[in-house]
Structure 1
């Protein structure tokens, strides 16, 4: 089977600054990955390259069977869903959520293509599938932060992506909104038609067991990568953070990490 993505000896430099160095990484079908790293580790740069917004200084990138330099990037981007709080600033906030979700089908900010009631109903059903039926028809501007993030996920799913990137989806959420959104992401991951999931976070407690692979990114380099069970433990994380830590395994199978 074709890999979801493959990085081979990828590096990125800007001027005299080395942002990423010698990244070798493959995501296979049926794998959900979480990228964990502190601020400034290079996570955003890595995501931009996956989405085709940024090219490496060195190395080769292949996403969904398409090698960069030999493929149509806009066409590839339509096969990748992207969820980020930064996108909220670009949306037409006075639109109702149905139209914002539908815009994902056309990979546009706002609706400029012809659409009909069937299209709108498909957008509403996508939201229902995520447990957001009560939000149908509401103005995006009145939603809570957690509800806005759910709308962005529904919007990303409208194009039926093969890869869904979740860029710190819980950023800005309170405890209860975070748990609700994580539960909705978990339900999405259990659907037979789901895309491959790639979530970025710097909070270990947000990495649910559905993310069966983890990449630890530190100062632009891969510190370690592999199965979740092998990496999220005291020995590896102490070395990663270079701090003494304590770990508590929660009932959900997630982990809480704290300075010790």
Structure 2
């Protein structure tokens, strides 16, 4: 089975502080993972490392078969990783249309500067249609709702056929309906032939869909626990993670969490 991510005893120190400590984590093709933890747990630092923006202070990092520090170029690696994040959204040109933004995913660029082929145009239209974005394809990005913007970003990320799709708290700022529409988009992606490995970052258990087979619990820059989602999102595990008693209930394959 192909390894998508291999981290062995990885630590990261920046500005005199340890952001990550002794992280070991393996993701295999065919698995979809949730990275779950409270604010300040180290999720952002870990994502920056996976996308080759940070380099480990110690340990072994391998992403999509490329070993950090030995046989890869950061830009080439990032072209194989689809990323949906607030940081990316802030970089986009607000006057570009949704269609133009999706097309730019072919080149992993902000804006369009290279020649676009008919094949790219057809693919962009297909992705916009699949993710229910086609009705507003010609609207400028700045006029879209937050939920519409996020689905456009997902379509953009899929243009380059990534092997790994990372969604960094994609429902932030969304109302209930927009959140559910976005999560339905992930279900569509999961069902596609040759679907990318999904890594979903959140601190809300109710967003964890049944398609996410595994979960890593992160706390204070360390792996608190990792394994099958049904075992990780449990009253025992989460009570220990939060250091307070919680209730976990399940309905239609999704969890709800509240404090005792």
2:78 aligns with 77
Is the CA contact 2:106–2:120 (under 8 Å) kept in the aligned structure 1? no
Contact 1:85 1:149 in 2 (8 A): no
**TM-score, structure 1 normalization:** 0.97
Q: Give SS of 1:106's match.
A: coil
State whether residues 99 and 120 of structure 1, in contact with CA within 8 Å, keep that contact through their aligned partners in structure 2: no
Q: Is the 8 A contact 1:11 1:56 kept in 2?
A: yes
SS in 2 for 1:44: helix
Equivalent runs, 1:168-207 vs 2, <5 Å: 168-207=169-208
Per-residue CA deviations over 1:100-150 (Å, capped at 9, x if unaligned) read: 001011010000111144422321111112222212222211110000000
Query: 1:31 maps to what in 2?
Result: 31
Which residue is 1:87 aligned to? 88
Counterparts of 1:193 and 1:2, CA distance in 2: 13
Q: Which 4+ residue blocks in structure 1 deviate beyond 4 angstroms? A: none
Match of 1:51 in 2: 51
Name the residue aligned to 1:128: 129
How far did residue 55 of structure 1 move? 0.3
Q: Distance in 1 between matches of 2:245 and 2:119?
A: 56
Q: What TM-score results when the alignment is normalised by the length of structure 2?
A: 0.97
Matches within 5 A, 1:1-260: 1-70=1-70, 71-251=72-252, 253-260=253-260
For the residues of structure 1 that align with 2:183 and 2:15, how far apart are their CA atoms? 38
In 1, Cα distance between the equivalents of 2:134 and 2:245? 44
Where in structure 1 are there 5+ consecutive unaligned residues? none
3-state SS in 2 of match to 1:82:
strand
Give the secondary-structure state (helix, strand or coil) at the position aligned to 1:124: helix
**Aligned residues, how many?**
259
User: How far, CA to CA, are the matches of 2:10 and 2:117 in structure 1?
Assistant: 44
Separation (CA, whole Å) in 2 of partners of 1:86 and 1:171: 12
